[in-house]
Structures are given as structure tokens and as C-alpha cells.
Amino acid sequence: MTVAPARPVAVRDGVGDSARRPDAVAKVRGEFAFSSDLGHDRMVWGATVRSPHAHARVLGVDASAALALPGVHLVLTAGDVPGVNRYGLERRDQPVLAEDLVRYIGEAVAVVAADDPELARRAAALVRVDYAELPALTDPELALSGGGPVLHEDGNLVRHLRIRRGAMPAAADIVVVTGEYEVGMQDQAFLGPESCLAVPDADDGVDLYCSTQWLHVDQDQLADCLGLPAEKVRLTLSGVGGAFGGREDLSVQAHACLLALRLGRPVKMSYGREESFVGHVHRHPARMRYEHGATRDGRLLYVKADILLDGGAYASTSAAVTGNAGCFAAGPYEVPAVEIDCRSVYTNNPPAGAMRGFGAVQVCFGHESQMDRLAAALGMDPVELRLRNAVDTGSVMATGQRVEGPAPVAELLRRVAGKPLPPPPGTDPRLLPGGMSNSTRAEGLLRGVGYGLSVKNICKSAGYDDFGTARVRVLARGGDVLAEVHTAAAEVGQGLVTVQAQIARTELGVERVTILPADTAVGDAGTSSASRQTWISGGAVRAACAAVRARLLERAAEVLGEGAEALRLESGQAVSELSGRAVPLVELLVTEIEETAVFRHRDTQPLDPETGQGDAHVAYAFAAHRAVVDVDPELGSVRVVEIACAQDVGKAINPAAVEGQMHGGIAQGLGLALMEEVKVRDGRILNPSFTDYLIPTTMDMPPTVLDILELPRADSPYGLTGVGEPPLLSAPAAVAAAIRDAVGAALDRIPVTPEAVAAAAVGR
């Protein structure tokens, strides 16, 4: 056995490096298999029959015309669901296939299997469903007042979070501002359609290849719906074309499995864009009433907020979104007294649920609009007002929780405020308001600058047992050491596969790392949401690597005849810090080493049901935005000239990926500020296409200026904190503030439309 002196070489593409994505080459070649690309011999296609009514009794389903078409194999309805015909993330309140009642337009009533997708869709259109329409409840205020039909057994209130802290001050010499704000319904608009392939197995189980954010929660729900033990419903993650919260709930999964198990043939399902708009939940539309009171020198004394979220027809994650919106309604500010009521209700609108920012985005528009209004009332600079009230480490949040860990809120704001302002508008009409429609020559344009500060929890909150599992195996392969990392964590585009490999390289000093496909053969990883996966699954990978490393060092200690304490792993060797001697890992791996680890963050507590007080969150993350806009006051068109964003990420595991998250988050925030709204009338989505639901294009996105702080946390792997959500949170608020600054008038609703801008500009 060779025992050579150590050669210190740091591992390439480890933690802190902008390592390239392992899947990038397949993706640029067009060879990466998204769930919509899958195929199988003998495969048939599924299609969904959906309710055209917002609220109706289902009287009967007649599938004979559909079944008469050659090539149509099967039509299934509620009675064909072998297990419990209910699913849902927080409450199982949504039928896989509607029974006697439909509660929103687009609710699934039946599923069809046919030889090709076109035929399946035609057959679905031929399934005759008899309905008796019921009065639809589409106004959340009415749902709250109890004035309409009761949509679920327990009533129409999904959750009411009350937060009470401190005593409201007496009225003397307080500057008070009030405001009412509204946020429209935003769509995740991931590009990859909902799709999956379900393959029935010889053991009467099913293998499902799908796009999701959380394999194990899908598995749990599917097993119950299909009446199968969990081990007979095996899921493998296929390529996911973006998620942003919209893949937390089931869509095609249960339907495809039902068809596949009944037919004994592989079944593929894939939504078109229009169907996708009713096929997943959206961001909760919000109505918010605020009152802020402050001293004349700009210290916040109290905040009152009354927030109503339209949860739509089924609960999805409404209760947790309500919790978040309530917890962060006062923003990242020190406020001695708070009175917050945040409620969500059932209506007959399309269901709302998770979307990047998860309740914190809506209230951010509220509290930041209020801060600007307060600054105006005080005659104070809006940046100064925010700096005066920003939380810091040790501050107490509205829920009474003390902020532990870095909270550089003031610093983040100073950083964006201190950036040089972009030059005045040029003459290229493509870069002016109106863009390619060439509607201005830059005369009479108004420029505005606006700010936003935001806070959100990272990881799961309020007592949830939040954990991740990782299995790591090291083996000698072709004279080299290979590490395999296996988790069930969903890569949805964010780059989790890259950071998992980086962590393994750093922990094991090994360059060759393979990330195995995510599936349910390994333990639960939890969800790819709440900006939690790098922390939690990254933490699990790190812990599994540590266990592997301990065993490698034991073996090395034996070979070198030295104590394991003085040994470390580096560049594929175990090296003694005492003697400098080393042994190549390949030689220690005559038999491979495998370890599985579970990683948990510290416990959190549920909020007190009366006061909303409690240590509900593991960590807070913060961001600051500055937006600069040019406005054409006559047409109301807006060009965002630049967005600056400063964010504390604790530790950038992959700086390039952090930038990518920030760019993408800013774009989605700009979209919500200016153009993105699912328009719903009488429960019907009026714009279910990318023709009518606009997301930012290359012509809409301004250059961004990023400032990434790395203030390490004490309680997370490498000091990191979650990255994905903060760059979105205060972007809409900053853009809206910049437009207000330009036109000098109030704008209380996002998305801000050209009509609203033009009207505000006239009224000023």
C-alpha cells in the first residue's frame, strides 16, 4: 500500500465556487428529458374533463359518445377512485375527480385515455356531464361575511391569524396614515407544462415519472387516493420545467396513475397552456387595509393591518400562506404595537396556494406603500424613514420573536440607495416606455425612483417537523474515487443538483461526484420551496458525507497507524496533519462506504392562537430593492430603467446560481408590478394564455445591479441562508413606488396598469 506525503490541492467546484450545472450540457443540446418528453411502448394518453361551472351539482356523467370513438380506451369518474377521493397539502379537501359537486371552473370531473393526445382531448370534449348550476361565491368579502353559499363543511373561513402585541398608544401627537391596497392573482407561469408518465408494474403498483416539488408528499397523497401502500407508488423526478410553488399540489399525477392502473398500460398526460392555468394554484389575490402611526420624528408606534386572501375553491396551502402574510404584515421594522388580522376564505374562484414569496409578497406591497405614505406625511425621505425603523439582530418582530442571526436590513437599503443612478433616457425607442411600439421620443417622460424592503421566513415554520434525507456512497471506480449522492430533493431549475455535488466535493475532497435521480427509494427530502433545500437537503448531504468521511478516516488511521483525529480528506487522499503522510482513498475503498443521514433545523413553535405570538420561524431573510422607472404620463406606459437588489445570503454556495436566483426573482417581481394578473370574472379565468397573460420579456427587463452580502449564520450549513424568494419580495413594491414617485400620485393596486398610471398622472 502506498503511503505518500500529502499534496495539498483544494478541490475544484466545491462550496463557494460558481460550479457549472451538471445538467446544462444535456439542456443546451435538447437532450434533457422533461416530464413532457417522456414516452413508453404501448403508451396511451390521458385527458381531463373539467367543469365549465364555478359551482354546480353534478347530476350524471355519460361517457358513451367518447367511448364510441375508435382508439378511446377508458373514461373514469369519481366512483372509479379506489382509495380516498380526496387530496390536499394541508387538508384533504379536494376530490381527485368531482363527486356530486364542483366548486370552480376547471375542476376535474372525469379522465379519458386514448391512443393519441388529440384523440384524448376530443374524447374528453364528448363526455357529457349534466350539471345543475348553483349560485357562485366569487367575492371574498362576501365569503367572509357569510353572505353567500357555504362551500365546505367547516364554513368558508380557511384561517384567521390574529396577532396582538403591545398596547396601542394614546392619540396625542401621532402621525397616522391609512391605506387600502390590492394585489392581483399572479400565475407561476413555469414554462414546462404539467406532465407525467405513469407505468403500471407487475406487482400491481405503479411507477410514476413526474414534475413536482416534493416527491414524498405526492406519494402519500397518491397512495391514499389509489388505495395502495406507499411502497407500491414509486415516484421518480423527471425534468422539471420550473415550479415557483405551482407544483406543490398534485395535478396530473393521480389521474395518470388511475388510468394506468385500470388499463394496465403506461399513461402519459401533459397539459396545454390553457389547461395549465386551471391545472395549478395561483398566488393569493389580497385586499389589505393598513394603518400606521408614528412619532413626528419618524419612529413607528403601531401598525394595524386587516388582510383578506382569496383562497379559491380548495385549501391547498392557504392556511400557511395566511400565517406568513400575517407574520410579515408589518415588514422588517421595529413596531412596539401591532394589531394584525389576516384571513383566508374559500370562494368559487380558482384555488390559490403556493407561489414564490408565499404571502410575504402581497403584504410587502402593503407595508412598503404605507412607509412611503408615512414618509410623505412626515415630510421625510423614504429611505431615511426606513433606516430609522429597520430591524436588526436582537430586534423583536410582530410575533414577539427576537431576530437571531444577521439582519442587515439598514445596510441592504443603504447599499441599494448608494448605487449611482442610471443615466437619463436615451433616444433608442426600444428602451423607452412603450418599447417597440415606438410611442414616445422621450419628450415629457417622468423619471421616478422607489424603494422596497422585505422579510420572509426561510424553511418551514410553526412547529413543522422539517427535515431532509441524503444517502452518500463512495466507491473506487476505474482507479478513481466516485461519490454518489442520492436524495429525493426536487431539482426544479434552481440548481440544487449543482450545490449537492459541490457540498460532496468539499466534504470528501473528491472531484467525481454523481447526483442520482431523485426518487422515493430514498427518504423524504421535504419540499423544494420556502427557500429551504440548500439548507436542509444540503445539510443532509453534508451530514451523510461527514459520516462517510469518519469511516474513511478510520480505515486510513489503520493503514497509516495514526489516530483518525489528525487525518483529513483532500484531493482524493486521506492526509495526516501530523506526519504529512497520505493514503489515496481508492486504496481504502476495497469495499465501498455508504451512509444515510437525516438533517433537521432547530424546532419552531406554533403561534399562540389568541395573540399570534411565538418563535415560529427558524430564520428570517431580508432583501432591499431600488427601482428606477421612466413613465410616459399621457399613455401611462412604464419602462423600468434599472432594478438594484441587495440581499444577504449568509454564504453563497454557488455565486453564479445566487445571481441567477436574484435575476429571476426580480423579473417575477417586475411582472407582478406591471403586467401579470390572472383575470377572473365570475370564477372564469379570462386570460389563460401567454397571449393575454403577459410575463416579462427581454424588452421588459431592465439591467439589474446586484449586491450580495455574505454574513454567515451560526445555525446553518456553511452559514448559508435561503436565496430563492427574497429577490422577488420587495421588487413589486419598489417598482410601484418608483411609478408613484414619477407621477406624484397614489397607486394602490398591483399590477399597475397603463390606465391607472395615466389616470394618476392626470389627477396629480
Partner 1 sequence: MRVDLEVNGVRRSLDGVREGESLLHLLRERVGLPGSKNACEQGECGSCTVYLDETAVCACLVAAGQAQDSRVVTVEGLADGAELHPVQRAFVEAGAVQCGFCTPGLVVTVHDLLARTSDPGEAEIREALAGNLCRCTGYEKIFDAVRLAAGEAR
- By CB under 8 A, name the binding residues for partner 1: 18, 20-21, 23-25, 27-34, 36-37, 116, 118, 188-193, 239-244, 270, 272-273, 428, 430-431, 436, 492-495, 656-657, 659-660, 662-668, 689-691, 695-699, 701, 703-704
Q: Taking the CB of residue 26, how many other CB atoms lie within 10 A of it?
A: 13
Q: For residues 576 and 584, give the distance between their C-alpha atoms in angstroms, rounded to a whole number.
A: 12
Closest CA relative to residue 222, chosen from 213, 211, 234, 237: 234
Q: Does 52 bind ligand FES (CB under 6 A)?
A: no
Q: Of the two residues 272 and 744, which places its CB atom closer to ligand FES in the complex?
A: 272
Considering only 83, 166, 242, 744, the residue that binds ligand FES (CB under 6 A) is 242
Q: Of the two residues 448 and 493, which places its CB atom closer to ligand FES in the complex?
A: 493
Q: Of the two residues 574 and 640, which places its CB atom closer to partner 1 in the complex?
A: 640
Closest CA relative to residue 467, chosen from 602, 619, 280, 302: 602
CB contact at 8 A, 90 and 318: yes
Query: Which helix (H) or strand (E) covers residue 261, if one does?
Result: helix 253-263
Q: Does 245 bind ligand FES (CB under 6 A)?
A: no
Residue 493 Cβ vs ligand FES, minimum distance, rounded to whole Å:
5
Residue 331 Cβ vs ligand FES, minimum distance, rounded to whole Å:
30
Q: Of the two residues 29 and 681, which places its CB atom closer to partner 1 in the complex?
A: 29
Q: Determine the residue with CB nearest ligand FES.
A: 191
Enter the C-alpha cell of residue 222: 397518491
Query: Which helix (H) or strand (E) covers residue 455, if one does?
Result: strand 446-458
Residue 642 Cβ vs ligand FES, minimum distance, rounded to whole Å:
22
Residue 30 binding: pick among ligand FES, partner 1, none (C-beta 5-8 Å cut-off by kind): partner 1
Closest CA relative to residue 549, chosen from 523, 575, 519, 577: 575
Between the CA of residue 8 and those of 202, 504, 560, what are the distances in Å? 52, 18, 18
Residue 27 Cβ vs ligand FES, minimum distance, rounded to whole Å:
8
Closest CA relative to residue 412, chosen from 646, 712, 727: 646
Q: Of the two residues 370 and 494, which places its CB atom closer to partner 1 in the complex?
A: 494
Query: Which helix (H) or strand (E) covers residue 389, if one does?
Result: helix 382-389
Enter the C-alpha cell of residue 528: 423544494
Give the angle 525-526-531 at the CA atoms, nearest 5°: 110
Q: Of the two residues 293 and 433, which places its CB atom closer to partner 1 in the complex?
A: 433
Give the angle 364-370-375 at the CA atoms, nearest 5°: 130
Euclidean distance between the first and final Cα of the chain, in Å?
84
Q: Of the two residues 205 and 495, which places its CB atom closer to ligand FES in the complex?
A: 495
Q: Of the two residues 687 and 753, which places its CB atom closer to ligand FES in the complex?
A: 687
Considering only 10, 26, 65, 191, the residue that binds ligand FES (CB under 6 A) is 191
Residue 89 Cβ vs ligand FES, minimum distance, rounded to whole Å:
24
Residue 695 Cβ vs partner 1, minimum distance, rounded to whole Å:
6
Enter the C-alpha cell of residue 662: 436574484
Residue 288 Cβ vs partner 1, minimum distance, rounded to whole Å:
27
Closest CA relative to residue 344, chosen from 310, 369, 391, 385: 310
Residue 424 Cβ vs partner 1, minimum distance, rounded to whole Å:
16
Number of residues near ligand FES (by CB under 6 A): 3
Q: Of the two residues 39 and 379, which places its CB atom closer to partner 1 in the complex?
A: 39
Residue 470 binding: pick among partner 1, ligand FES, none (C-beta 5-8 Å cut-off by kind): none
DSSP track, 675-720: T----EETTEES--STTTS----TTTPPPEEEEEE----SSSGGG-
Q: Does 550 bind ligand FES (CB under 6 A)?
A: no
Q: Of the two residues 191 and 578, which places its CB atom closer to ligand FES in the complex?
A: 191
Q: Of the two residues 28 and 167, which places its CB atom closer to partner 1 in the complex?
A: 28
Residue 438 binding: pick among partner 1, ligand FES, none (C-beta 5-8 Å cut-off by kind): none
Residue 404 binding: pick among partner 1, ligand FES, none (C-beta 5-8 Å cut-off by kind): none
Q: Of the two residues 242 and 754, which places its CB atom closer to ligand FES in the complex?
A: 242
Enter the C-alpha cell of residue 371: 412607509
Q: Of the two residues 210 and 225, which places its CB atom closer to partner 1 in the complex?
A: 210
Residue 268 Cβ vs partner 1, minimum distance, rounded to whole Å:
10
Residue 663 Cβ vs partner 1, minimum distance, rounded to whole Å:
3
Residue 421 binding: pick among partner 1, ligand FES, none (C-beta 5-8 Å cut-off by kind): none
Task: Provide the mask over 456-495, with x wherever binding to ligand FES is found by CB under 6 A and - wherever it is not.
Answer: -------------------------------------x--
Residue 169 φ/ψ, nearest 5 degrees: -70, 155
* Dihedral over Cα of 539, 542, 548, 554: its sign: negative
Residue 701 binding: pick among ligand FES, partner 1, none (C-beta 5-8 Å cut-off by kind): partner 1
Residue 192 Cβ vs ligand FES, minimum distance, rounded to whole Å:
8
Q: For residues 643 and 702, give the distance between their C-alpha atoms in angstroms, rounded to a whole number.
A: 7
Which residues, including other chains, have CB under 8 Å from residue 519's CB and lie 6 or more apart?
215, 234, 235, 236, 237, 488
Residue 691 Cβ vs ligand FES, minimum distance, rounded to whole Å:
10
User: 117: exposed, middle or buried (C-beta count within 10 Å: 0-12, 13-18, 19+)?
Assistant: middle
Residue in the block written with cell 390606465: 755
Map the footprint of ligand FES across residues 501-540, applying CB under 6 A.
Answer: none
Alpha-carbon Rg for the chain in angstroms: 27
HEC states along 266-316?
A: CEEEECCHHHHHHHCCEECCEEEEEEEEECCCCCEEEEEEEEEEECCCCCC
- State the residues that interact with ligand FES by CB under 6 A: 191, 242, 493
